[in-house]
Structures are given as structure tokens and as C-alpha cells.
Structure 1
């Protein structure tokens, strides 16, 4: 495979991963702030859909294309910037997995409350807080990964 195409796939995939995460987080957070159950339900449904359509494929493409690029460029797996980026990617992934579960549960909680014509269960707000706080280290980790990928600094 052409290395330029591979690099293009890797960069586009990282943009899609980062952009989808940041965009959906913004819209979900602001929908929750508005406390309009109908808007929250619609937003949560779309956030879950965006994760399946965009985030999940890029979570797979990123390490595969990264591995292929490291091989093509001859980067050793012991390169500090590469080890650190893999560690940060793992941190982001470990935060993302419970976030996916929480998003699905919050989507379902909104749908149930709307269907029953009742207010949200307090669990929704606990889940929303946890979702937010899991997003902070995931976001910072991805910023770090992108910085390491671009700069490839000598860390130690």
C-alpha cells in the first residue's frame, strides 16, 4: 500500500475520531444543560449513533494504520514517543468503553421517561456526571496522542 495513502487514512481517521468525540460531547453536554427532555432524548440517540458510525470504525483504523506506518517508516516499538502514544491511546480507550455504556443507558433512560411522560430518573444525572468526567482524561489523552504523533519527541 502506498505510504502517502496510508498516512492520509491515518490522519483522516484521527480527525474523524477526535472531531466526532468533541462534537458529540459538546452537543450532549449542551442538551443536558438545557434540561429539555425531548432535546436530550434526540441528542442522546444521535450521540450513540455517531459513536457506532464514526468513532467505532476509527478506533479500529487508528491502531491498524498506525502499526502499518510504524512498520513502513521503520520506527522501533521502543521509541518513547510511540510507547507514550500507545499508552495514552489505551487510557482514552479505557475511558471510552464505559462512556459507550453510559451513553446507551442515558439514551434509553430519556426514551423511557419520554414514553412514560415522567421526569428523568436521578440515575441519568449521575451517569451524565460520570460520562463528563470520563471524557476529560480521554480528551486530554487524545490531544497528547496527536501531539506525540506530530512531534515524535525524544522523551527519554
Structure 2
């Protein structure tokens, strides 16, 4: 496959990956700030769908296209910028895996509370703050990865 096509796929999938993460975080955060249980239930349901549809698929496409571009461009795998990118990507993935589980739990707890017409229990809020806390290092990791991909500091 042509380098430009692979690079386009890599950039496009990174846009979906990062954009879904930012969008999900934004809507989930503000639905929770509203404390409207029905809104939280609806938003959390769609956040889980978006994560599986966009984040999971692009999380696979990113390293595949990235390593293929490295191969096509002839960059050494031991390049410091590339090694740091991989470390940060693994860190972001390590944050994302529990986030997926937390989002599904948040969705289920919110749906149950909306159906019952009750407030969200304390467990929901513990999960939510853990979810938010895991998003911070993942966000920072992706911002640094973007810089490393553009600058490729030697």
C-alpha cells in the first residue's frame, strides 16, 4: 500500500480515536454535572456505543498503520520518538481498558436509576470520578504522541 494512503488512514483513524475520546468525555462530564439521571442514562449509553464503534476499531488501526509507515519510511524501531510514542500509547490503552468497563457499569447503574426514578447511588459517583481520573493521563499521553508524530525529535 502507498505511504500516502497509509498516512491518510493513520491520521483519519487518530482523528476518530482522539475525537471520540474528547467528545465522549465532554458529553459524559456535562451530563453528570447536570445530575439529570435520565440524561446521564442516555448519554452514557451512547458513549459506550461510540467507544466500541470508534475507539476500539481505531485503537487497532493506529498501531497497524503506524508500524507500516515506519517500515515504509525506513525509520529505525529504536528511534527515541517512536519508542516514547509506543510507551505512551500503551499507557493510554492501559487507561482505556478500565474506562470501558467503568462506562458500561455507569451506563447500567444510570439506566437502573432512571427506570426506578431514583438518584444515582454513591457507587456511581466513585466509578465516575475514577473514569474521569483515568481520562486525564490518557489525554495527556495522546497530546504528547501527536507532538512526537509531528516533530519526530531525534
TM-score bucket of the superposed structures, by smaller chain: over 0.9
What SS does structure 1 have at the residue aligned with 2:29? helix
RMSD of aligned alpha carbons:
0.6
**TM-score, length-scaled by structure 1:** 0.97
Size of the aligned set, in residue pairs, is 154
- Separation in 1, partners of 2:3, 2:69: 7
- Separation in 2, partners of 1:56, 1:150: 24
Residue 147 of structure 1: aligned partner? 147
Structure 1 residue ranges (4+ consecutive) displaced by more than 6 angstroms after TM superposition = none
Residue 96 of structure 2: aligned partner? 96
2:50 maps to 1:50: yes
- Separation in 1, partners of 2:147, 2:88: 11
**TM-score, length-scaled by structure 2:** 0.98
Query: Cα offset for 1:116?
Result: 1.9
- Separation in 2, partners of 1:133, 1:118: 26
Query: Cα offset for 1:121?
Result: 1.4
Residue 21 of structure 1: aligned partner? 21
Residue 126 of structure 1: aligned partner? 126
- Separation in 1, partners of 2:12, 2:62: 10
